[in-house]
Copies of this chain bind each other. A is one copy, B any other.
Amino acid sequence: MKVFENESVTFPKGFTAAGIACGIKKSGAPDFAMVVSAQPASAAGVFTQNLVRAACIDWNQNALHFNAHEIRAIAVNSGNANAVTGAAGQRDNAAIAQETARLLQCNPEQILVGSTGVIGVPLPMEGVTQGIKSSHAALSPSGGRDAAHAIMTTDTKPKFVAVESSRGWRIGGMAKGAGMIHPNMATLISVICTDAKIDARILQTITASVASKTFNCISIDGDTSTNDMFVVLANGASGMEADPAEFETHLYEVALTLARRIVEDAEGATRFVDIVVEGAKSDADAFLVARTISTSMLVKTALFGADPNWGRVIAAAGRSGAQFDPKNVSLSFGGIEVLKGGEVVDFDEAAAHDRLQAREVRIVLNLGAGKGHAQAFTSDLSHDYVKINASYRT
C-alpha cells in the first residue's frame, strides 16, 4: 500500500469537498465543511456512547439505519456542537440536511451531519444556511484539505492522510480533535472516503473493528465527547470491489494515522505517549490497564516533566480493575527497564530523564498474568492544557 501524506477525503475518485467560513467562529476562521460523493455511497459509522448526544448523532444513526446504501454527503460545522440544544437543535440539524439535499437534488435522509464546538448554544442558522450554499458552490476535487481545515476547533493543524491499494482503489480521510478526547466507539469527528466498492453491512463491521483498534485507543483527557463520530463513505467510483480483509488493512492504516495525529496535536501536549500492555489475563484486561494509565493525571504530568516516575504507572495499573500479581510485573520506560519481576531495577535516573525528553515515549508494561495485549495512545499533561481549557469559551 502507498501512503499519501498530503491527500485527504477527495483523493479517491468521485468525491468533491469544500471548507469555508460562515461566521460561527468569532475569529472568522473556516467553520463549515462539505464532502460530497458524485454517486450514492455505502456508508458506515460509529458514534459516541455518551448518553448526552448532539442532534447530529441521532440524525446520522437514523440515516444510516435506513439509507446506508445511498448516502450522498456529509456537512460538518465547527465552533458549535449543537448539543443540549433541545428540540430547536434537532430542527436546526434537520434544516442543514434539508438545505444540503435541496442543492444536491437528493433526499435529506441521504445527508449526514456533523457538529463540533461549544455545547448548549443555538446554531446561528442564518450564517449556517449561507455556509451550506457557499460550500456547495466551492465543491472541488481538490477541496479535501480545505474541508479538513474547516472542521478544526482547538486543533493546531488539519489532519488528513490517504492510501492507495496495489490494485488502484483509494482511501482518503480527515479528522479533527484536540480535547474532550476519550472516544468510546468513535472519535470526535473523522470522515474517511473510498472509491472501493464495498457493501454497507460489511463496511459497518469493518468500521467498528477498525475504530476499536485506532480511535478508541486514544485519550487526551478522559472526557468522552457528546459529538464523537467516525464515518466511512464508499462510493465504488473506482469500479473495483475491495476484498474485505485487504480493505480493513488499508482503512486501519488511514484511521490509525489520523488517531495518532489527534494525540500529537493534543491540547498543550509536548509528548506523544505509546502505552503497550502485555502479559495480561485477557485482551480486555490489557485494554483496561492501558486505558487507565493513559488517563492518569499523575502519569501524564510526570511525562510532561520527563520524570521516569514509574510508581505512578504501577499505581494506575493497580487501580484499573484488571487482575494481576504485582510480584510478576515488569516495566520499561522509554526503552529503559525499571522493574523486573516486581523488583526495582537499578537504572540511571539521569539517562532516563534524557530519554523521556523525546517527542515520542513508549511505556511497555508486562503484567506476567497471561497473553492479553493492548495498546493505548495519549499525550502528556502540560501547563498549556490547563491554559487552553480554563478559558475555552471566553
Q: Taking beta carbons and an 8 Å cutoff, which residues of A are in contact with B?
A: 49-53, 81, 83-86, 118-121, 179-180, 182, 184, 221-226, 295-298, 301-302, 304-305, 307, 309-312, 314-319, 322-324, 326-327, 339, 342-344, 353, 381-383, 385-394
Contacts of A224 in B (CB 8 A): 315, 318-319
> Apart from A120-B344, A297-B385, A385-B386, what are 19 other A-B pairs with CB-CB below 8 Å?
A49-B319, A51-B318, A51-B324, A51-B326, A84-B326, A86-B344, A118-B311, A120-B310, A120-B311, A120-B339, A222-B222, A223-B319, A224-B315, A297-B381, A298-B389, A301-B386, A302-B392, A305-B394, A309-B392
Bound Cα distance A370, B224 (Å): 25
User: Contacts A86-B344, A315-B52, A343-B86; is A222 near B295 (CB within 8 Å)?
Assistant: yes
Bound Cα distance A84, B58 (Å): 48
In the complex, how many angstroms separate the beta carbon of A314 from the nearest chain B beta carbon?
A: 5
Please tell me how many copies of the chain the complex holds: 2
User: Contacts A386-B382, A390-B302; is A83 near B311 (CB within 8 Å)?
Assistant: yes
Contacts of A327 in B (CB 8 A): 86
In the complex, how many angstroms separate the beta carbon of A4 from the nearest chain B beta carbon?
A: 34
Residue of B nearest to A84 (CB): B314
Bound Cα distance A370, B85 (Å): 23
Interface contact A86-B342, CB-CB below 8 Å: yes
User: Contacts A226-B315, A312-B119, A326-B52; is A342 near B84 (CB within 8 Å)?
Assistant: yes
User: Contacts A382-B386, A392-B302; is A311 near B51 (CB within 8 Å)?
Assistant: no
Interface contact A307-B83, CB-CB below 8 Å: no
Interface contact A307-B394, CB-CB below 8 Å: yes
Contacts of A297 in B (CB 8 A): 221-223, 297, 381, 385, 389
In the complex, how many angstroms separate the beta carbon of A345 from the nearest chain B beta carbon?
A: 10
In the complex, how many angstroms separate the beta carbon of A307 from the nearest chain B beta carbon?
A: 6
Interface contact A50-B226, CB-CB below 8 Å: no
Q: Can you pick out 27 interface pairs between chain A and chain B where the beta carbons lie within 8 Å of each other?
A: A51-B318, A51-B319, A51-B322, A52-B317, A52-B326, A53-B326, A83-B315, A84-B326, A84-B342, A84-B344, A86-B343, A118-B311, A120-B314, A180-B315, A184-B319, A221-B297, A222-B222, A223-B316, A226-B311, A301-B386, A301-B389, A307-B391, A353-B394, A382-B386, A382-B390, A383-B386, A383-B387
